[in-house]
Amino acid sequence: MKTTLTLLALALGIQVHAQWLPSYGGERAGQAAFSFLKTDYNIASAAMGSVGSVLGGDARSLGYNPAGLARTKASSIAFTSMGSGSGLEQGAVFVARKIQGRSAAWGFGIQRLQTGAYEERTEFRPQGTGRLLYDAQSALTLTYAQQLTEQFQLGVTLKALNETYSAGYTGWGAAADVGFQYHLEDEGLRFAVVLRNFGAPVSLKGSYWAVEYNRDSLSALESANLPTEFAIGIHYRALERGKHHLDVAAQLVHPNDNAENYRAGLEYRFADQLFVRSGILLNQSGQPFPTLGLGVAQTVAGTRAIVDLSVQPTAGMGTWTALSLTLQPSAR
The answer on pLDDT for 79 being more than 50 is yes
Q: What is the reported pLDDT for 13?
A: 45
70 touches 263 (CB < 8 A) = no
Largest alpha-carbon pair distance within the chain?
73
Query: pLDDT tier at 331 (50, 70, 90 boundaries)?
Result: low
Query: pLDDT tier at 316 (50, 70, 90 boundaries)?
Result: confident
Rounded to an integer, the average pLDDT of 245-261 is 94
Ranking 24-33, 44-53, 165-174 by mean pLDDT, the lowest is: 24-33
Q: Cα 227–119–121 angle (5° rounding)?
A: 90
CA gap 251, 76 in Å, rounded? 26
Instruction: Report the share of the chain in percent with pLDDT over 90.
Output: 64
Q: What is the reported pLDDT for 6?
A: 47
264 touches 13 (CB < 8 A) = yes
Helix, strand, or coil here: 287? coil
Task: Give the C-alpha distances (Å, rounded to integers) separating 35 from 112, 192, 195, 298, 304.
Answer: 11, 23, 15, 35, 33
The answer on pLDDT for 284 being more than 60 is yes
229 or 319, which is more confident? 229
Interval 118-172: pLDDT, tens: 888 888 888 888 888 889 999 999 999 999 999 999 999 999 999 998 878 899 9
State which fold the 2-329 domain adopts: Porin (2.40.160)
Q: Which of 173, 169, 91 is nearest to 135 (CA)?
A: 169
User: Which helix (H) or strand (E) element contains residue 14?
Assistant: helix 2-14
